[in-house]
């Protein structure tokens, strides 16, 4: 029997227990022996529920029980998760986590401890919820050099942008609705500011580069400045606005990474990813493009990925299977040197401003107008560097209403 201790009986923790209860027989067959949740660490007692007898309040109980071979950390946040995970690994217990904050901050160190102890630290559920992207990168795609990963890695913002587009609604109204439906937190900052997607693309960037990529180094812009009018322009141009996370390799191990709203067109597979769904497009130098699509959050999809990792660890109790990344931080290429096209919205009339705009952004720029609006217009720049855009746009800072990158992930 494989005995597991689950740290935290919140949404994901209860999902893990449910997945094991529902599919336990099949899972046991796949492992070759039964899988048993022996303990659940939580500060609540859950009296009168089926898990009542498994609840413990002291982490020590799990740490010091030699029967526990696998610890499942689904507490979230850095502490006490980091301390518990590190202690578990040092005690020779494999660990599964769904905690992206922990992996993004301490992944390299925890992977290294697991390797030294010939056990495993797995975290499939930390990126893309139920989508098997990390295992795919580590197993199926090992023949390739991964050149680029683009993804919609946050379900909350994808839901909000989809709603704004479909219902012709403003950001604030859609946020309120997402909060009412439980898709957005009461404090929505991590999602709407792009931080959640940023941690996830940092983890994927660390995996493909083999070095620690700090999420603080990734240029990150959320969706808070996107308005209904921006979406109207996007529609007119045949685009959708999506919060895209990109990690792109340049010349060897140089990476460009960004999280920001982009206008994407129909030919881009992520154009079709709507609502709370996530998608990750991986470009390999042999494979070409492959897209992984599915539920990026939610109790059972996330728990499914966690239990998949438990199965992997149970089958590899004393065999380290996870590639490591080095603790030395990879210096990302300067964001100002990334090349882009920008959609720019300008207050005023094209007649009055076209000459000046053409002087700065090129003679080929064309205006885009919204029906019934004669007080503003938009245009798309040619491909220019982010830094150049910043410099040139300063001249027009009093009349530029917004600017959104247009798909060209350099």
- State the binding string over 147-176 for ligand HSE (x if CB under 6 A, else -): -------xxx--------------------
Q: Are strands 94-97 and 121-122 parallel, antiparallel or unpaired?
A: parallel
Q: ∠ CA(228), CA(173), CA(153), 5° rounding? A: 75
Q: Which two tokens stand for residue 115?
A: 């390797």
From the CB of 154, what's the least distance to ligand HSE, in Å? 4
The answer to whether 403 and 342 are in contact (CB under 8 A) is yes
What's the Cα-to-Cα distance from 83 to each of 60, 108, 133, 206, 209, rounded to whole Å? 12, 15, 27, 22, 26
Q: Terminal CA-to-CA distance of the chain, rounded, Å?
A: 50
Residue written as tokens 């990476």?
Answer: 255
- State the binding string over 243-282 for ligand HSE (x if CB under 6 A, else -): ----------------------------------------
Give the single-character DSSP code of 150. E
Q: Which two tokens stand for residue 228?
A: 């209904």
From the CB of 393, what's the least distance to ligand HSE, in Å? 31
What's the CA gap between 294 and 383, in Å, rounded? 32
| Contact flag: residue 222 with ligand HSE (CB under 6 A) | no
The answer to whether 231 and 348 are in contact (CB under 8 A) is no
The answer to whether 202 and 255 are in contact (CB under 8 A) is no
From the CB of 251, what's the least distance to ligand HSE, in Å? 32
| Contact flag: residue 381 with ligand HSE (CB under 6 A) | no
Tell me the DSSP string of 52-108: GGGEES-HHHHHT-TTEEEEEE---SSTTHHHHHHHHHHTT-EEEE--HHHHHHHHH
What's the CA gap between 305 and 324, in Å, rounded? 20
What number of chain residues touch ligand HSE (CB under 6 A)?
Answer: 8
The residue among 154 and 206 lying less far from ligand HSE, judged by its C-beta, is 154
Which residue is closest to ligand HSE by CB? Answer: 156
The residue among 194 and 378 lying less far from ligand HSE, judged by its C-beta, is 194
From the CB of 156, what's the least distance to ligand HSE, in Å? 3
Q: Which two tokens stand for residue 98?
A: 């769904």
**Which residues within the stretch 278-317 sit at the binding site for ligand HSE (CB under 6 A)?**
296-297
What's the Cα-to-Cα distance from 110 to each of 30, 76, 322, rounded to whole Å? 27, 16, 11
Q: Which of 191, 217, 313, 386 binds ligand HSE (CB under 6 A)?
A: 191
Q: Which of 38, 54, 93, 200 is catalytic?
A: 200
| Contact flag: residue 196 with ligand HSE (CB under 6 A) | yes
From the CB of 183, what's the least distance to ligand HSE, in Å? 7
The answer to whether 4 and 38 are in contact (CB under 8 A) is yes
**Which residues within the stretch 91-130 sit at the binding site for ligand HSE (CB under 6 A)?**
129
The residue among 132 and 155 lying less far from ligand HSE, judged by its C-beta, is 155
The residue among 99 and 212 lying less far from ligand HSE, judged by its C-beta, is 99
Q: Is 200 a catalytic residue?
A: yes
What's the CA gap between 331 and 319, in Å, rounded? 32
From the CB of 214, what's the least distance to ligand HSE, in Å? 19
From the CB of 103, what's the least distance to ligand HSE, in Å? 12
The residue among 296 and 378 lying less far from ligand HSE, judged by its C-beta, is 296
What's the CA gap between 258 and 361, in Å, rounded? 23
The residue among 104 and 357 lying less far from ligand HSE, judged by its C-beta, is 104
From the CB of 90, what's the least distance to ligand HSE, in Å? 27
The residue among 51 and 161 lying less far from ligand HSE, judged by its C-beta, is 161
291, burial (CB in 10 Å: exposed 0-12, middle 13-18, buried 19+): middle
The residue among 42 and 191 lying less far from ligand HSE, judged by its C-beta, is 191
What's the CA gap between 22 and 334, in Å, rounded? 48
- State the binding string over 320-349 for ligand HSE (x if CB under 6 A, else -): ------------------------------
Contacts to ligand HSE by CB under 6 A = 129, 154-156, 191, 196, 296-297
Q: What residues act catalytically?
A: 200
């Amino acid at each position: 029997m494989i005995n597991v201790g689950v740290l935290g009986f919140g949404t994901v923790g209860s999902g893990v227990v449910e997945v094991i209860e529902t599919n336990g027989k099949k899972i046991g067959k796949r492992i070759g022996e039964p899988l048993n949740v022996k303990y659940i660490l939580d500060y609540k007692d859950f009296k009168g529920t089926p898990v009542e007898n498994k609840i413990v309040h002291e982490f020590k109980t799990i740490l010091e029980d030699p029967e526990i071979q696998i610890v499942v950390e689904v507490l979230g946040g850095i502490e006490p998760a980091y301390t518990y995970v590190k202690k578990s690994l040092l005690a020779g217990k494999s660990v599964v986590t769904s905690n992206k904050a922990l992996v993004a901050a301490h992944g390299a160190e925890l992977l290294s401890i697991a390797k030294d102890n010939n056990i495993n630290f797995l975290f499939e559920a930390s990126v893309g919820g139920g989508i098997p992207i990390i295992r795919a990168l580590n197993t199926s795609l090992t023949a390739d050099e991964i050149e680029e990963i683009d993804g919609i890695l946050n379900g909350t913002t994808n839901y909000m942008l989809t709603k704004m587009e479909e219902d012709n609604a403003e950001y604030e109204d859609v946020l309120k609705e997402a909060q009412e439906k439980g898709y957005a937190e009461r404090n929505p900052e991590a999602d709407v500011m792009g931080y959640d997607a940023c941690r996830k693309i940092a983890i994927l960037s660390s995996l493909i580069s083999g070095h620690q990529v700090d999420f603080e180094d990734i240029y990150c812009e959320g969706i808070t400045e996107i308005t209904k009018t921006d979406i109207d322009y996007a529609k007119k141009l045949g685009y959708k606005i999506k919060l895209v996370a990109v990690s792109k390799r340049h010349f060897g191990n140089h990476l460009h990474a960004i999280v920001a709203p982009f206008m994407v067109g129909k030919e881009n597979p992520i154009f079709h990813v709507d609502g709370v769904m996530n998608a990750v497009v991986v470009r390999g130098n042999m494979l070409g493009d492959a897209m992984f699509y599915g539920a990026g959050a939610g109790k059972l999809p996330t728990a499914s990925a966690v239990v998949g990792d438990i199965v992997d660890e149970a089958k590899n109790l004393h065999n380290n299977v996870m590639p490591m990344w080095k603790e030395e931080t990879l210096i990302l290429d300067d964001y100002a040197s990334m090349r882009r096209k920008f959609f720019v919205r300008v207050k005023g009339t094209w007649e009055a401003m076209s000459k000046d705009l053409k002087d700065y952004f090129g003679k080929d720029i064309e205006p885009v107008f919204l029906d019934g609006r004669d007080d503003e217009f938009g245009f798309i720049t040619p491909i220019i560097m982010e830094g150049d855009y910043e410099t040139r746009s300063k001249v027009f800072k009093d009349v530029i209403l917004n600017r959104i990158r247009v798909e060209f992930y350099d």
